[in-house]
Structure 1
Amino acid sequence: VIRPRLYFGKIILYSNLLKKWLGYIDKLILFPFQLQKAASWADVVHICDHGNAIYTKYLQKIPHLVTCHDLFAIRAGLGEFPEHKTGWTGKKLQQMMLKGLNQAQMVVCVSEQTKNDLLRLSSLSENKISVIPMGLNYPYAPMQTTEIKERLASLGIPANSNFILHVGANHWYKNRIGVLSIFYELILRLQQANFYLVMVGKPFTDEMHQLIKKYNMTEKVIELVAVDNENLQALYSSATALLFPSLHEGFGWPIIEAQACGCAVFTSNRPPMNIVGGEAAIYIDPKNPQAAAEKIIYYLPNLENFKTKSLINSQIFRTEKMILEYIDIYQKIL
């Protein structure tokens, strides 16, 4: 595995903007020499993230493929999300990325949704695009009750409480404001004292803090940052349900992580979430907090029925299956 080495990018500077531009020297000027030297002995070069598709122009005489997770940045650069502007530098980088994808020998998308976006935005023919769903990157499974209690206590989760779980970063399409709005509608209707929302991911934004304060949910919303896999497994294994109302996703990893732990999932009735979740998930409108809350409440008494379904569905996304499918692609492009 190789990645751009930091030379200029590690220079200590007070200006983040200048540091970013120096980092481009490492990535765009110096790294291609490192890549070409390393690739000279390789049978296949696998660019594991579409953000590095800019390097395909250096691999035209070497069998190679790119894994494409999503095209949100490229779509934003093209103006498909008017409310989320992309700066001049970002647009140029996205143009380079799309050009790199167009020059790829093979592109593997993590979902049919990503493939459809790629076919629409690129000049690639369909025979140059495959779909291989993501596999779990950690052996998630239901955790024993004793270990769960110890780990929840260490995370500051109140004993004997019920909680809705959300896992995700602060990107706009993760809809964390929507998560808070849905939870507010839930507590209005349920009126349960020992009922919480646990949000795992990046630190809350100012907008999130303001909404929590506005809805008087300071004592009901628990913020967890930098949670490791073992503690996340404990959360998945004990949560009432995962709430994952994303507006867009390339795949939606938390869905299968939760299901592998036997956790019920409420997620958006949009692709790829409603493909990844299969028949084991319950689907909601991510932009209608009231209707989402009502649907969650309707299913709460019967969530145990989704445990077995969740475990079965998660088996579709075994890591071993993903690896074998990639090996098949490697053999095809040699």
Structure 2
Amino acid sequence: MNIIIFSHPLFFSSNSMPRYTRMIAQEMRNRGHDVEVWIPEAHTVNWTHLGYLKKWLGYIDMYLLFPAEVKKRLKHTPAKTLFVFSDQALGMWVPLVANRPHIIHCHDFMAQKSGMGLLAEHHTSWTGKIYQRMIRNGYSKGRHFISVSYNTAKDLQNMPGCKPETSSVVYNAVSPDFKALNKQEARVHVAGQIKLQSEINLSQGYLLHVGNNAWYKNQQGVLQIYNAWRKLSKPALPLVIVGNKPDNIDSLNEPIINLWKNDIIFITGISDQLLAKIYGGASMLLFPSLEEGFGWPIAEAMACGCPVITTNKSPMNEVGGDAAWYIPRMPSTTNTIKQWACNAAITVNTILSLSKEQEISATKAGLLNAERFTLPVMMDAIEKIYGNTLGCYMKSKLPKRAPQTF
């Protein structure tokens, strides 16, 4: 196949989607396909270092200069080419190739739902609402979609004006770096790597949360659960958070961080190899996320033999399957959060109280579940969908044979 992948630019801070694009591109090349990546170049965005102006100048590069360049390139692109959008957030480019074979990868619709006023915990500015509407107007012109979870596929179906001809689900793959490890060896390694940042003792285990301080990752809920558990339990394990400390510590979390400041550590800027060791040494992963497109840490933790507590809501329970422990979604009202956290703390104690046999059984269940999220499984499915989409389109363009007379 001849494949052209549209990617997010590199001049904005997020690198997860460009990394996803590179992975798809390289894996398809490894399978013998011709792959190009079309990505906006930095032109006007380099005129300033001011963050606010840089964002708007970046939009000029993305939505004025880049589409003009794409139109020129399309004149020299063979008809038998599949155009792939690595993220539905690139929707404003979809009309450029809507009448040619294409696939749109969908990761999550949180920004879209927030722009439509559907998420109580997050509100979008009026300019953000306009921006999300423009994205939606673009990808709604698309015909073929791949979502990373059934929850994301359901959200796609519910987007106004979006009527996919085909909508498939392919779960994300966990990096081969995430694999089962000896817990004690992993803890020694992790302690050695982060000892300059903290004197916290990790040798007996620790509770773990992986996620940035975005609202939907629910660091607030993690801290509330930890606080409730420390007050409930005699054993005192530290809390390791792989992610940034909250920018603004609210009135609920400030006393918790101050109370347990010697037992809570935030870690950022680490490699997948070190993250795998952190998973491998953890007593459990706390992942009470409010919303997700997929929920990478659930699958990564299980692949490393780490028990998982997460939200009993799709897609978290899609990814966790029968191998995770589930708690309700954190309520949005302040006066009920503490009771929610106390109930979740009981689940923490349940995991920490497992017998050796139960712990081994739980680990095996997690490892078995994680096998659904390997790179070969993911790429086999994507390659098949790409081929079917391009094949059906080209077949529809073949001239019809004249009826034969006898």
TM bucket (normalised to shorter chain) is: over 0.9
Q: TM-score, normalised by structure 2?
A: 0.77
Matched, 1:154 2:196: no
Mean Cα displacement is larger for which, 280-289 or 134-143? 134-143
Would the aligned equivalents of 1:101 and 1:107 in 2 still touch at CA under 8 Å? Answer: no
Structure 2 spans left out of the alignment, 5+ residues: 1-36, 331-339, 391-406
1: CA distance between counterparts of 2:186 and 2:345?
A: 31
Structure 1 spans left out of the alignment, 5+ residues: none
Letter in 1 for 2:323: A
Matched, 1:268 2:320: no
Report the alpha carbon displacement of residue 148 of structure 1 after superposing the two structures with TM: 4.9
For residues 259 and 107 of structure 1, do their structure 2 counterparts lie closer, same or farther at Cα, with a shift above 3 Å needed? same
Would the aligned equivalents of 1:198 and 1:222 in 2 still touch at CA under 8 Å? Answer: yes
Deviations, residues 183-205 of structure 1 (Å, cap 9, x unaligned): 00111111324x11100012332
Letter in 1 for 2:188: K
Report the alpha carbon displacement of residue 38 of structure 1 after superposing the two structures with TM: 4.7
Q: Equivalences for 1:64-83 in 2 at 5 Å?
A: 64-83=102-121
Would the aligned equivalents of 1:278 and 1:313 in 2 still touch at CA under 8 Å? Answer: yes
Letter in 1 for 2:192: A
Matched, 1:314 2:350: no
Would the aligned equivalents of 1:212 and 1:218 in 2 still touch at CA under 8 Å? Answer: no
Would the aligned equivalents of 1:152 and 1:234 in 2 still touch at CA under 8 Å? Answer: no
Q: TM-score, normalised by structure 1?
A: 0.93
Letter in 2 for 1:132: V
Equivalence for 1:4: 40
Q: Sequence identity, in percent?
A: 32
Mean Cα displacement is larger for which, 103-112 or 213-222? 213-222
Report the alpha carbon displacement of residue 225 of structure 1 after superposing the two structures with TM: 0.9
Matched, 1:61 2:103: no
Equivalence for 2:221: 178
Would the aligned equivalents of 2:85 and 2:104 in 1 still touch at CA under 8 Å? Answer: yes
Secondary structure in 2 aligned to 1:267? strand
2: CA distance between counterparts of 1:333 and 1:37?
A: 24
Letter in 1 for 2:388: K
Mean Cα displacement is larger for which, 259-268 or 82-91? 82-91
Letter in 1 for 2:104: V
Equivalence for 1:329: 385
For residues 125 and 23 of structure 1, do their structure 2 counterparts lie closer, same or farther at Cα, with a shift above 3 Å needed? closer
Would the aligned equivalents of 2:92 and 2:139 in 1 still touch at CA under 8 Å? Answer: yes
Equivalence for 1:200: 242
For residues 151 and 160 of structure 1, do their structure 2 counterparts lie closer, same or farther at Cα, with a shift above 3 Å needed? closer
For residues 188 and 47 of structure 1, do their structure 2 counterparts lie closer, same or farther at Cα, with a shift above 3 Å needed? same
Secondary structure in 2 aligned to 1:243? strand
Report the alpha carbon displacement of residue 77 of structure 1 after superposing the two structures with TM: 0.7
Q: Equivalences for 1:83-98 in 2 at 5 Å?
A: 83-98=121-136
Equivalence for 1:135: 173
Letter in 1 for 2:161: S
For residues 7 and 315 of structure 1, do their structure 2 counterparts lie closer, same or farther at Cα, with a shift above 3 Å needed? same
Q: Equivalences for 1:153-302 in 2 at 5 Å?
A: 153-156=192-195, 158-193=201-236, 195-207=237-249, 211-214=253-256, 216-287=259-330, 288-302=340-354
Q: RMSD of the alignment, in Å?
A: 2.0
Report the alpha carbon displacement of residue 82 of structure 1 after superposing the two structures with TM: 4.2
Would the aligned equivalents of 1:101 and 1:122 in 2 still touch at CA under 8 Å? Answer: no
Would the aligned equivalents of 2:294 and 2:315 in 1 still touch at CA under 8 Å? Answer: yes
Secondary structure in 1 aligned to 2:208? strand
Deviations, residues 84-110 of structure 1 (Å, cap 9, x unaligned): 221122111111111122111211111
Would the aligned equivalents of 2:84 and 2:103 in 1 still touch at CA under 8 Å? Answer: yes
For residues 311 and 82 of structure 1, do their structure 2 counterparts lie closer, same or farther at Cα, with a shift above 3 Å needed? closer
Would the aligned equivalents of 2:177 and 2:272 in 1 still touch at CA under 8 Å? Answer: no
Letter in 1 for 2:194: L
Deviations, residues 295-325 of structure 1 (Å, cap 9, x unaligned): 2212322244310000000001111111111
For residues 66 and 207 of structure 1, do their structure 2 counterparts lie closer, same or farther at Cα, with a shift above 3 Å needed? same
Letter in 1 for 2:369: N
Equivalent pairs, count: 332
